[in-house]
């Protein structure tokens, strides 16, 4: 069944209020659309009245980024949401989310300084602001995020904790293609040649985990080996290759606590991110 699409805050609130009155827990999956199996897995993990938002959020894109050309595929998205069991789609326009004179932002210090935050100034401020607004609009009991955007999930969990937002944040595993490439709405930008080499990013993260498992505990050495590996991918430009504290995302000297290897790599003009927790 195709879930209905509502575009106003009043309509989504009315539908959620009705579901809550029927004793249904409210689950929420925020997305930017161009949905794929990674998003579907979040929807399938969600119970019971499942709201999916589809909103390409302008405040998380830099001036030179792909906001205007970000794929918008609402009909296919609605179908995928229906197959995955979503109850309702909230697809507001920019004016509904950011009326003129919106001047308030949510910002999580520190966690957003590194990795994608360093490469994309203001990105996480935009993400936190829109997610907090969506939480206040939908008022879910549980919200589902993907481990693919590891830093984003950590930052949102921190915001929820610090600002006492009454929602449970759950993080679901990264869904990958059979060859290991993490599913992403941006994969469709890849040329045939870029798509062929893209799975090597995940293989190199796995090699980092193997090195750590074999006893390499020096984070800087792991990082330089990873960066050197990534640089061998034809047409790749490494944005960052880091091994950081899995909880705080701060730089690490030694792997004496849980760590995550996180990378961002440009293949042509497409920026791909991936990560792997080092056990
Ligand atoms: P996006 O539409 O890219 O903003 O992503 C919306 C949500 O889907 C975020 O919580 C992402 O982490 C999650 N997501 C995107 N790709 C994947 C994937 N390959 N596996 C799991 N979750 C994903």
Contact 82, 122 (CB under 8 A): no
Active site residues: 39
pTM of the model: 0.97
Residue 171, both tokens: 């993080």
Q: Is 248 exposed, middle or buried (0-12, 13-18, 19+ CB in 10 A)?
A: middle
Q: Provide CATH code, domain 5-172.
A: 3.40.50.620
Ligand 1 site, residue 150, Cβ cutoff 6 A = no
Give CA separation, 241 vs 15, 39, 57, 226, 244, in Å: 43, 25, 26, 7, 10
Q: 16 CA to middle of ligand 1, Å?
A: 23
Q: 215 CA to middle of ligand 1, Å?
A: 32
Q: 174 CA to middle of ligand 1, Å?
A: 8
Angle 34-26-174 (CA atoms, 0-180°, nearest 5)? Answer: 40
Site to probe by mutation for ligand 1, drawn from 35, 143, 146, 169 as the one with most ligand atoms within 8 Å of Cβ, is 146
φ and ψ at residue 89, rounded to 5 degrees: -115, 130
User: Which residues, 6+ apart, have CB-to-CB distance to 113 below 8 Å?
Assistant: none
What is the model's pLDDT at position 113? 87
Ligand 1 site, residue 39, Cβ cutoff 6 A = yes
Q: Provide CATH code, domain 185-277.
A: 3.30.1300.10
In ligand 1, the atom with minimum distance to the C-alpha of 33 is 2
Rg over CA atoms, the chain? 19
Ligand 1 site, residue 185, Cβ cutoff 6 A = yes
User: Which residues, 6+ apart, have CB-to-CB distance to 160 below 8 Å?
Assistant: 135, 167, 169
Ligand 1 site, residue 56, Cβ cutoff 6 A = no
In ligand 1, the atom with minimum distance to the C-alpha of 152 is 12
What is the model's pLDDT at position 279? 74
Ligand 1 site, residue 146, Cβ cutoff 6 A = yes
Site to probe by mutation for ligand 1, drawn from 28, 37, 39, 46 as the one with most ligand atoms within 8 Å of Cβ, is 39
In ligand 1, the atom with minimum distance to the C-alpha of 144 is 10
Q: One digit per residue, pLDDT tens: the chain, 279 residues?
A: 899 999 999 999 999 999 999 999 999 999 999 999 999 999 999 999 999 999 999 999 999 999 999 999 999 999 999 999 999 999 999 999 999 999 999 999 999 888 999 989 999 999 999 999 999 999 999 999 999 999 999 999 999 999 999 999 999 999 999 999 999 999 999 999 999 999 999 999 999 999 999 999 999 999 999 999 999 999 999 999 999 999 999 999 999 999 999 999 999 999 999 999 997
What is the model's pLDDT at position 152? 98
Q: Cβ of 258: how many Cβ atoms within 10 Å?
A: 12
Q: 125 CA to middle of ligand 1, Å?
A: 18
Contact 145, 42 (CB under 8 A): yes
Ligand 1, atom 6: closest residue by C-alpha = 31
Domain edges within the chain: 5-172, 185-277
Q: Is the dihedral of CA 78, 32, 259, 232 positive or negative?
A: positive
Site to probe by mutation for ligand 1, drawn from 149, 187, 275 as the one with most ligand atoms within 8 Å of Cβ, is 149
């Amino acid at each position: 069944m195709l879930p209905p699409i509502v575009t106003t805050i009043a309509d989504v609130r009315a539908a959620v209020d009705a579901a809550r009155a029927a004793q249904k827990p409210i689950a929420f999956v925020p997305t930017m659309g161009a949905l794929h199996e990674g998003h579907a897995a979040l929807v399938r993990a969600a119970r019971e009245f499942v709201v999916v938002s589809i909103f390409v959020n302008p405040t998380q894109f830099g001036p030179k980024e792909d906001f205007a050309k970000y794929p918008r595929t609402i009909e296919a998205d609605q179908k995928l949401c229906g197959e995955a069991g979503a109850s309702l789609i909230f697809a507001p326009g920019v004016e509904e989310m950011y009326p003129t004179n919106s001047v308030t932002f949510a910002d999580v210090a520190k966690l957003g300084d590194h990795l994608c935050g360093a490469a994309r100034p203001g990105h996480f401020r935009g993400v936190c602001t829109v997610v907090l607004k969506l939480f206040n609009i939908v008022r879910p009991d549980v919200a589902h995020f993907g481990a693919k955007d590891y830093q984003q999930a950590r930052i949102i969990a921190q915001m929820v904790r610090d600002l006492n937002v009454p929602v449970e944040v759950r993080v679901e595993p990264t869904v990958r293609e059979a060859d290991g490439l993490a599913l992403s709405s941006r994969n469709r930008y890849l040329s045939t040649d870029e798509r062929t080499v893209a799975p090597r990013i995940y293989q190199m993260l796995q090699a980092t985990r193997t090195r750590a498992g074999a006893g390499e505990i020096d984070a800087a050495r792991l990082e330089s080996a990873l960066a050197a590996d990534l640089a061998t991918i034809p047409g790749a430009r490494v944005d960052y290759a880091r091994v950081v504290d899995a909880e705080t995302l701060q730089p690490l000297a030694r792997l004496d606590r849980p760590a995550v290897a996180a990378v961002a790599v440009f293949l042509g003009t497409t920026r791909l991110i991936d990560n792997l927790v080092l056990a």
